[in-house]
Structure 1
Amino acid sequence: MSETAPKTIGNPASWVLQSLRSASHGTTEAIEELRSDTNARPRVRTMDIDDISHALRAGWADFKSARSDAMFLVFIYPLIGLALVMSGFHLDVLPLLVPMVMGFAIVGPAAAIGLYEMSRRREAGESAGWMSAFSVLRSPAFASVLALAFYLAALFVIWIMVAEAIFGATLGPDTPASLTTFARDVFTTSSGWTMIVVGTLVGAAFAYAALAVSIVSFPLLLDRHVGLPMAVATSLQVMRQNRLVCLLWGALVGALLVLGSVPLFAGLIFVVPLLGHATWHFYRRAVM
Structure 2
Amino acid sequence: MATPYSDRLVQSTASIAAPVIRDVRLRDLGDALSRGWEDFKAVPSHALLLCVIYPVLGVALFRLVIGYSVLPLLFPLAAGFALIGPFAALGLYELSRRRERGEEASAWHAFSVLSAPSFGAMLGLGTLLLTLFVIWVAAANAIYVGLFGYAPAAGIPDFASRIFTTREGLLLIVVGCGVGFLFALVALCISVVSFPMMLDRHATVAAAIYTSLRVVAKNPVSMAAWGLIVAALLVIGSVPLFLGLTVVLPVLGHATWHLYRKAVEPDPNPPRERPHPPKGRRYAAEFPISLLPWGRHKP
TM over 0.5: yes
Q: Which moved more, 1:260-269 or 1:62-71?
A: 62-71
Residue 37 of structure 1 and its aligned partner are, at CA, apart by 7.7
Partner of 2:277: none
Instruction: Write the distance in 1 (CA, Å) between the matches of 2:201 and 2:208.
Output: 9
Partner of 1:130: 107
Q: Secondary structure at the match of 1:39?
A: helix
Partner of 1:13: none
Partner of 1:17: none
Partner of 2:230: 253
Instruction: Write the distance in 2 (CA, Å) between the matches of 1:220 and 1:66.
Output: 22
Could you give the per-residue CA deviations for residues 37-68 of structure 1, whole angstroms, max 9, x where no partner exists?
Answer: 81112111111101101101111111111112
Residue 227 of structure 1 and its aligned partner are, at CA, apart by 1.6
Q: Is residue 2:132 matched to residue 1:159? A: no
Instruction: Write the distance in 1 (CA, Å) between the matches of 2:12 and 2:212.
Output: 15
Partner of 2:283: none
Question: Please, which of 122, 147, 151 is the counterpart of residue 174 of structure 1?
Answer: 151
Uncovered stretches (5+) of structure 2, i.e. residues with no partner: 1-8, 266-299
Question: Please, which of 47, 51, 69 is the counterpart of residue 74 of structure 1?
Answer: 51
What is the alpha-carbon root mean square deviation over aligned residues?
Answer: 1.4
Contact conserved, 1:187 with 1:193, CA < 8 A, in 2?
Answer: yes
Instruction: Write the distance in 1 (CA, Å) between the matches of 2:204 and 2:49.
Output: 30
Residue 102 of structure 1 and its aligned partner are, at CA, apart by 0.6
Instruction: Write the distance in 1 (CA, Å) between the matches of 2:56 and 2:48.
Output: 13
Instruction: Write the distance in 2 (CA, Å) between the matches of 1:191 and 1:114.
Output: 42
Letter in 2 for 1:79: V
Partner of 2:13: 38
Instruction: Write the distance in 2 (CA, Å) between the matches of 1:82 and 1:279.
Output: 26
Q: Secondary structure at the match of 1:38?
A: helix
Q: Secondary structure at the match of 2:242?
A: coil
Partner of 2:73: 96
Contact conserved, 1:70 with 1:115, CA < 8 A, in 2?
Answer: no
Partner of 1:16: none
Partner of 2:239: 262
Q: Count residues in correspondence.
A: 254
Letter in 2 for 1:210: A
Whichever of the two has the greater Rg, that structure is 1
Q: Is residue 2:264 matched to residue 1:287? A: yes
Instruction: Write the distance in 2 (CA, Å) between the matches of 1:144 and 1:174.
Output: 42
Uncovered stretches (5+) of structure 1, i.e. residues with no partner: 1-32
Given the superposition, is the C-alpha separation of residues 243 and 180 from structure 1 closer, same or farther in structure 2, using an over 3 Å criterion?
A: same
Residue 225 of structure 1 and its aligned partner are, at CA, apart by 2.5
Instruction: Write the distance in 1 (CA, Å) between the matches of 2:47 and 2:73.
Output: 30
Contact conserved, 1:71 with 1:273, CA < 8 A, in 2?
Answer: no
Equivalent residues in 2 for 1:188-207, closer than 5 Å: 188-207=165-184
Contact conserved, 2:69 with 2:155, CA < 8 A, in 1?
Answer: no
Contact conserved, 2:70 with 2:153, CA < 8 A, in 1?
Answer: no
Contact conserved, 1:171 with 1:195, CA < 8 A, in 2?
Answer: no
TM-score, normalised with respect to structure 1: 0.85
Partner of 1:229: 206
Residue 91 of structure 1 and its aligned partner are, at CA, apart by 4.2
Partner of 2:42: 65
Q: Is residue 2:93 matched to residue 1:116? A: yes
TM-score, normalised with respect to structure 2: 0.82
Contact conserved, 1:58 with 1:281, CA < 8 A, in 2?
Answer: yes
Runs of 4+ in 1 over 4 A off after TM superposition: none
Residue 127 of structure 1 and its aligned partner are, at CA, apart by 1.7
Instruction: Write the distance in 2 (CA, Å) between the matches of 1:164 and 1:90.
Output: 17
Instruction: Write the distance in 1 (CA, Å) between the matches of 2:184 and 2:106.
Output: 31
Q: Secondary structure at the match of 1:197?
A: helix
Partner of 1:5: none
Q: Is residue 2:32 matched to residue 1:55? A: yes
